[in-house]
């Protein structure tokens, strides 16, 4: 049998692929990363939209969660990166039935989060797992429960509440403070995480033939085939589910089942640049939300004037994001403007008329196909199953979908990639 070209081939140069390649390099294994896009970073991508005056703008990931324990924070500090404490920069406003929340309402809102968590824990203890919508129904007398659901399911986790595992949510509950690298996370990744790695851009992988003699893997690309002793696949579950990447033989049933129960959620960032001097009586870097009614009205939280800039940014997640993405950019902007009018009246039309507009579009990216994944009810273990070794570790999967407790984050992807590299290293050790 001819010798393989490499020890390990890694599919995808997002955070998981870069984390895996870094760990493999550090133990002396020959590794190459194949990336379909023309850049590294995956969903960590900083752009400089002309519509927003050329300010840096993170298209996807935008902060380091749980910064005290986040391994990427240590890397950033070693390189002398400037890290901004998002929680200290941000002020918050909540509207209740059109008025600013009173002190009593704000206190009840703050107390609603632990109430919701306690209710979820009690239902999970009783039933094994439930949906997030089940938790809200259980709290029928709590006026803030629909708002917590709206935040935690479609907005934060990009998932429909009735199809989102409450157990998955609780397993990935993060605490602590968050940091933002000056200039954006995507720019940080490009500066700091690709050095010294063999990364081949614009190289889509079409088929992976695995289970060869000695566990050998053959990866077929548009630029030819590569053989390796092992392979780490870090593409999204959206790509895995689409069939765009073929496996020969087909993946084991348990892997296919894990992918099916980790569907991709959707998130849209929409930014509107002001053309007038009005700042809606809000300070810079101000987050605004509102209490949601039980009629499941659409919920779009906004951040006004981030870092003192002249635009407002909204976040649309879950099924609504999928529907609006299908309808097109004009529909997204119209929806955001409608939400702003509901908060501040007609003055927003005067403020944003003729201003720049910018919308992200992860649904249309064939190498991502969504934002990040969530687990369906009674399948919270799908993340563990997807990250388990296949073919004794000659084939591994990694990414934000495989990590606990950092699911859906750049830290989760990085850690998952490094864990997969350790498993492959153990598999290939003499």
Residue 20: predicted pLDDT: 98
Q: Rounded CA gap, 216 and 229, in Å?
A: 5
- Assess whether pLDDT exceeds 70 at residue 1: no
222-233 tens-digit pLDDT: 999 999 999 999
**Average of per-residue pLDDT across 209-235:** 96
Q: How far apart are the C-alpha atoms of 396 and 199, rounded to whole Å?
A: 19
Residue 376 DSSP one-character state: P
State pLDDT tens for residues 339-381: 999 999 999 999 999 999 999 999 999 999 999 999 999 999 9
pLDDT of residue 183: 96
Spell out the domains of the chain, with CATH numbers in brackets. 6-41+193-261+378-428 (3.50.50.60), 94-171+266-364 (3.90.660.10)
Asked whether 392 and 215 are in contact (CB, 8 A), the reply is yes
Strand residue runs (E) in 236-390: 246-248, 267-273, 286-290, 302-304, 311-317, 357-359
Render 191-255 in DSSP notation, one character per residue.
Answer: HHSSTT--EE-S--EEEEE-S-GGG-EEEEETTEEEEEEEEEE---HHHHHHTSSEEESPPPHHH
C-alpha distances in Å from residue 322, one per residue of 193, 208, 368: 31, 30, 14
What's the mean pLDDT in 73-91? 93
Pairing of strands 91-96, 199-200: unpaired
Strand bridging mode 357-359 / 311-317: unpaired
What's the pLDDT score for residue 373? Answer: 98
Mean pLDDT of the chain: 96
């Amino acid at each position: 049998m001819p010798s393989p070209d490499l020890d390990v081939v890694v599919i995808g140069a997002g955070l998981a692929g870069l984390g895996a390649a870094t760990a493999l390099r550090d133990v002396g294994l020959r590794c190459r990363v194949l990336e379909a896009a023309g850049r590294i970073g995956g969903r960590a991508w900083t752009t400089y939209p002309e519509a927003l005056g050329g300010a840096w703008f993170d298209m996807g990931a935008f902060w380091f969660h749980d910064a005290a324990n986040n391994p990427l924070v240590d890397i950033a500090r070693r390189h002398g990166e400037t890290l901004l404490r998002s929680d200290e920069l941000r002020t918050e406003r909540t509207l209740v039935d059109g008025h600013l929340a009173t002190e009593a309402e704000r206190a009840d809102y703050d107390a609603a989060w632990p109430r919701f968590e306690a209710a979820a824990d009690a239902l999970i203890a009783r039933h094994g797992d439930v949906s997030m919508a089940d938790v809200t129904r259980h709290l029928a007398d709590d006026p803030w429960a629909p708002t917590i659901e709206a935040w935690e399911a479609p907005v934060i986790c990009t998932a429909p509440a009735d199809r989102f595992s409450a157990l998955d949510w609780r397993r990935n509950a993060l605490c602590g403070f968050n940091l933002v690298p000056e200039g954006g996370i995507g720019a940080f990744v490009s500066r700091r995480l690709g050095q010294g790695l063999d990364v081949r851009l614009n190289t889509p992988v079409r088929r992976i033939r695995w289970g060869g003699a000695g566990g050998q893997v053959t990866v077929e690309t548009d630029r030819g085939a590569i053989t390796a002793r092992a392979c780490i696949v870090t593409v999204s579950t959206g790509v895995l589910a689409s069939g765009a990447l073929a496996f020969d033989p087909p993946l084991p049933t348990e892997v296919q089942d894990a992918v099916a129960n980790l569907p991709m959620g959707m998130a849209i960032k929409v930014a509107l640049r002001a053309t007038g001097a009005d700042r809606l009586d809000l300070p810079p870097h101000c987050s605004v939300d509102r209490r949601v009614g039980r009629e499941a009205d659409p919920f779009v939280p906004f951040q006004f004037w981030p870092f003192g800039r002249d635009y407002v940014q909204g976040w649309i997640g879950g099924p609504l994001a999928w529907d609006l993405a299908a309808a097109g950019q004009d529909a997204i902007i119209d929806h955001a403007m409608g939400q702003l009018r509901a908060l501040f009246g007609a003055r927003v039309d005067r403020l944003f008329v003729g201003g720049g507009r910018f919308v992200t579009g992860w649904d249309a990216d064939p190498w991502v196909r969504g934002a990040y994944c969530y687990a369906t009810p009674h399948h919270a273990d799908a993340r563990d199953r997807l990250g388990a070794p296949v073919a004794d570790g000659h084939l591994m999967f990694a990414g934000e979908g495989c990590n606990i407790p950092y699911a859906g984050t750049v830290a989760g992807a990085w850690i998952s990639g490094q864990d997969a590299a350790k498993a492959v290293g153990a598999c290939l050790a003499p």
